[in-house]
Amino acid sequence: TLGLHRAGIPGSPWIRSHPPGLHTVQQLSGCDLLSDGSVHRTLRYGIDGQDFISFFPETGTFMAADGAARIIQRKWKSEGYEALQPNLAQSCVEWLQKYVRYGREALECKDPPDVHVSGKVEHGILTLSCHAYGFYPGMIGINWLKGDELRDQETEWGGIVPNSDGTFHSWARIEALPGEREQYRCRVEHAGMPEPGIFAWEPESVWNSIPVWVAVSVIAAIIIIIGLLGVGVWKLRSGNSRDG
């Protein structure tokens, strides 16, 4: 009972509905600084590891877990929330604003994604993948378009995964008919981009692919070697003929 009163919670309604003995009271007082500069504070109480009652002073709303919590809610309202004032953490707001100023450069850093689109045809199905690498912050929108229409119901997304350097990567994949390849575009939206980007898969020509160029280079080298050997044999035979 003493612990409940120290937390600003009248103990009798709760005690009547719970067995006697030792119980744990938990208090969480915090604040959120939103992007528009407004602050939302939160005061929460839990008993024995379960949520009991929460108060949001900016909106004057409560979340009460049971009848005992609703009795306490009415008492707080009748007292004008005086019992809550020591715990509403105005200092939290002040410290949060101070640390945001200290870290503004890092918090406002925006690294745009490096986007790569690839495709693969198997069993008559074209699988298109759109990968975004190295972006920060970790909020991104990756969507597949067919023409001008979003195809979210057909899209499979990967999670937003952190990299070792503090940036993130993610992907989105969709299946299509090979003949409809040119109708599909990947749309990527991120805070580091001045406007959403549209990306398409452009398969390499067979003559631009690395394996083909390697094969052509090897064949050319063999032809050159054969040519040099031929010239050498011809010169050797010519020299032998003159000596004879």
Helix (H) or strand (E) holding 91: helix 90-102
Q: Where in the chain is the domain with CATH 3.30.500.10?
A: 2-105
Q: Do 26 and 47 form a contact (C-beta atoms < 8 A)?
A: yes
Q: What is the mean pLDDT of the chain?
A: 80
Average pLDDT over residues 122-141: 95
pTM exceeding the 0.75 threshold for the entire prediction: no
The domain defined by 114-199 carries CATH number 2.60.40.10: yes
231 C-beta neighbours (distance < 10 Å), count: 10
> Between 3.30.500.10, 3.40.50.300, 1.10.3720.10, 3.40.50.10470, what CATH number should domain 2-105 receive?
3.30.500.10
Which pLDDT band holds residue 4 (cuts at 50, 70, 90)? very low
pLDDT tens digits, residue range 180-223? 999 999 999 999 999 999 999 988 754 444 555 566 677 877 88
Rg over alpha carbons for the chain, rounded to the nearest Å, is 35
- Out of 81-95, 144-158, 168-182, least confident range: 81-95
3-state secondary structure 136-169: ECCCEEEEEEECCEECHHHCEECCCEECCCCCEE
Model confidence pLDDT, tens digit, residues 89-127: 667 778 887 887 877 777 778 999 999 999 999 999 999
